[in-house]
Amino acid sequence: MKALTWHGKHDVRVDTVDDPEIVNSRDAIIKVTSTAICGSDLHLYDGVIPMVQSGDILGHEFMGEVVETGANSTLKKGQRVVVPFTISCGGCFHCNIKQYSCCENSNPAEKQDASATLYGHPMAGLFGYSHLTGGYSGGQAEYVRVPYSDFGPIVVPDHLDDEKVLFLSDILPTGWMGAENAEINPDDTVAVWGCGPVGLFAIQSAIVMGASKVIAIDHYPHRLELAKKLGADTINFRETDVREALMEMSGGIGVDAVIDAVGMEAHGFAYDNMMDMVKQTVGIGADRASALKQAILAVRPGGRVSIPGVYGGMTDKWPLGAMMEKGLQLRGGQTHVQRYTKDLLDKIEDGTLDTTFLISHRLPLTQAADGYKNFHDNQNEWTKVVLKPGMEA
């Protein structure tokens, strides 16, 4: 089969690789009909996530048709399914309390030591996202093996096009959980750093949850325009002092909640951010956390800080004093996708949520490398790329 594989920093290729096979009775094989390039994939593309190996198949946002099942899979051949990027067993302690991205069983035992050393506990398994998270082949491919297929995938009705439901795999529930973690109240003013796909869905989610005002912060004009169309006020951080603007827009008290949808490769010309960029370049593994630091300083005392943006390593110059003295609540984590998929599918069906507005480009899988390059280099115009196996160039 054809699949998009990683071969080094800024070097991804569509190669011919072996077809996946059933290896466990709970497995299923999915013929991929749509898959997408995620902003998190760009961290792999930039070489800042450890333990990615040459030839690894990337991609964690995908859906398709069931073509083969193990004896204990509950799926049936021919069903259309969206597959959560978080691989969860459904039966461990964390899965039983709906913390699905903390699953204890999905990362194979022989691969758990590295993430346990980095983070104190092993990470759960994720599709297409390094051997820290199990080394599973991803979904930017013609076919993919789905472990625990009796628990994770959600069957979608035939009357909904792929593009309406594809983002249930990651960025829609990630944006929703990012807004949920901000504990939004009806009178709240909420600021969202980053108008990439997750940021845009966090903005949409915060508005649906009833926030009084949502403020979007970015520097790409088209992405800010998309945020404005959703109903957000906007700040271009290249043109405006963000903290001063947020104080003015919140009546001088500061915003009630902040959402960092940027993550470990933040832009900005602050001294510490420039130093973190240098450290990332030479391989020290420092996260560029300038957006998160700015958010912590901007939120009002007693406010909430939500972090759906991906961080993978260490950061310094951390405003710990501001967190303590201001009495802030901070919540983050990989998304517990399976907790949200059914409710979000209902909101897609009834028109409460629009999932297609941010798609800018549709490409055949064979042009995936071009998709990565443009999504990386031209983020103003390339807001979201959907890849279609079998689509003609």
Across the chain, which has 393 residues, the per-10-residue mean pLDDT values are 98 98 98 97 92 97 98 98 98 98 96 91 96 96 98 96 98 98 96 97 98 97 98 97 96 97 70 47 66 95 96 84 95 96 98 96 98 97 96 81
Q: What was the pLDDT predicted at 281? A: 54
Radius of gyration of the chain (CA): 20
Helix axis angle for 171-181 and 337-349, nearest 10°, is: 100
Largest Cα–Cα separation, the chain: 61
Residue 227, token pair as written in the block: 């945020």
pLDDT at 193: 97
The predicted pLDDT at position 95 comes to 98
Is residue 54 classed exposed, middle or buried when 0-12, 13-18 and 19+ CB atoms within 10 A define those classes?
Answer: exposed
Res 263: pLDDT: 87
Question: Has domain 2-170+335-388 been given CATH number 3.40.718.10?
Answer: no
Contact indicator for 335, 174 with CB cutoff of 8 Å = yes
Which residues make Cβ contacts (< 8 Å) with residue 9, sequence separation at least 6? 45, 46, 47
Please, are residues 291 and 194 in contact by the beta-carbon 8 Å criterion?
yes
Q: Of the candidates 206, 260, 198, which has an alpha carbon nearest to the alpha carbon of residue 232? A: 206
How many Å apart are CA 103 and CA 99, to the nearest integer? 7
Closest by Cα among 287, 288, 297 to 319? 297
Beta strands in the chain (DSSP E): 2-6, 12-16, 28-37, 61-69, 80-83, 86-87, 125-126, 143-146, 154-155, 189-193, 213-218, 233-236, 255-260, 299-307, 329-332, 361-364, 385-388
CA distance 261 to 191: 10
Domains 2-170+335-388 and 172-332 share a fold: no
- Distance, in Å, from the CA atom of 245 to the CA atom of 93, rounded to the nearest integer, reads 44
Q: 172-332: which CATH topology?
A: Rossmann fold (3.40.50)
The whole-number pLDDT of residue 267 equals 54
- Tokens coding 266: 């933040």
Amino acid at 320: L
Helix boundaries (H) for 98-161: 112-119
Over residues 55-111, the pLDDT tens digits come to: 999 999 999 999 999 999 999 999 999 999 999 999 999 999 999 999 999 999 999
Per-residue model confidence (pLDDT) at position 269: 44
Task: Domain ranges for the chain, please list them.
Answer: 2-170+335-388, 172-332
What is d(CA 270, CA 103) in angstroms, rounded to the nearest whole number? 37
Cα 359 to the center of its chain, rounded Å:
15
The first and second tokens of residue 180, run together, are 């949920």
What's the CA gap between 33 and 142, in Å, rounded? 8
Q: Which residue has the tokens 């520097």?
A: 219
